[in-house]
Amino acid sequence: MNRSAIAFAVICAALSLSGSASLGSNLPGAGVGLSAHDDTAAAYQKLVAERGAAVVTVKFVLKIEAGGMGEDAEQETEVYGVMIDPKGLVLMSNSELDGFAGMMRRFRGGSFTTTPKDLKVLIGDDTEGMPGKVLARDTELDLAWIQIEKPGDKPLAHIDPAKGVKANLGDRLLALEKMGKYFDRAPVVQEVRVGAVTSKPRPTYVFTGGFIAGRGVPVFTVGGEFVGMTTLLVPSAEEMEGGALRSSMGGYFGTSPKILPASELVTATKRAREAAEADKPADKPADKAPEKPADTPADKSGGK
């Protein structure tokens, strides 16, 4: 088995195992007294009330061109993102925009391509959606920016990453996700702790003591201040093959989502806007993670 295949297998296994994590410890008041339960309930309710409108659903059709490796296909998909601008700019996970097929291409290679089309952004109770387009993509940071084409004159509810705060080791954080269409896209609050703070290869918060199901999930302090967003920052195949990322408990922390701090999102968004203004292609991500420093322009080269 080659290195890229090993890396891909490890990632799939880690994501699969994370889905079986127990959520019992995240329930309000679990193992604590009534007063602590009341405080937790108030924090959850405040977060949904004040921040819930900025978490949007991105609905699209993922076109998969097999390139001779099978039949072409189209797949209807729903993921979520975060409105970060009152004029309709949505930030989300790039790997969510490409789906499983795009992730497989990135780590196993191949000639097939994945292209999201017919993008629509659903805000609040809207079930039709507002048409959007891919503004820019950053494969290395696992970020994608979707611009609503006709957002209207009224400012949209949003979260400004520039007003984000830093988190410290041990801090209690709340992640705000959404359920699927079957459950009426109801908001879900998950509670985690900051288990580690990294500086290399870039700043991240590693969460522990809880479970965040998706990528592109906004994370907040208990008081509702924005901390960052979960993305899939994947090491090289060589690092995973050597076992350098394996913890003493047997978990692959390197292949699970991390929280990218708000300050990093601000910098990345600035680069994305500049790249879009320069009219650089934004329709497809690179086939694999680019080998370049984190402070270079967003990757939107569109390899096949």
pLDDT in tens, the chain (304 residues): 555 554 445 445 444 444 434 333 444 444 444 445 578 999 999 999 999 999 999 999 888 776 666 677 788 888 889 999 999 999 999 988 875 555 555 555 556 677 888 999 999 888 889 999 999 988 889 999 999 999 999 999 999 999 999 999 999 999 999 888 888 889 999 999 999 999 988 899 999 888 777 889 999 999 999 999 999 887 655 555 555 444 433 344 445 789 999 999 999 999 999 988 887 755 444 333 334 444 444 444 333 3
Let me know if residue 281 belongs to a domain.
no
Q: Based on the fold, state whether residues 172 and 35 are members of the same structural domain.
A: yes
190: domain CATH number is: 2.40.10
Give the tokens for residue 29: 């008041």
Q: Which of 158, 179, 200 is the last residue of a domain?
A: 158
pLDDT in tens, 69-98: 667 778 888 888 999 999 999 999 998 887
Pairing of strands 130-138, 55-65: unpaired
Let me know if residue 85 belongs to a domain.
yes
Q: What is the pTM of this model?
A: 0.74
Does the N-terminal peptide bond of residue 285 adopt cis geometry, omega within 30 degrees of 0? no
User: By the 8 A CB rule, do 233 and 171 touch?
Assistant: no
DSSP track, the chain: --HHHHHHHHHHHHHHHHTT---GGGSTTTTS-HHHHHHHHHHHHHHHHHHGGGEEEEEEEEEEE-TTSS--EEEEEEEEEEEEETTTEEEEEHHHHHHHHHHHHHHH--S-EEEEEEEEEE-TT-SS-EEEEEEEEETTTTEEEEEES---SSPPP---GGG-----TT-EEEEEEE--GGGTT-EEEEEEEEEEEE-SSS-EEEEESS----SS-EEEETTS-EEEEEE-----HHHHHTTTTB-TTS-BGGGS-EEEEHHHHHHHHHHHHHHHHTT---SS--SS---S-TTSPP------
Q: Based on the fold, state whether residues 177 and 218 are members of the same structural domain.
A: yes
Q: Please count the structural domains in the chain.
A: 2
Length of the chain: 304
95: domain CATH number is: 2.40.10.10
Q: Based on the fold, state whether residues 107 and 121 are members of the same structural domain.
A: yes
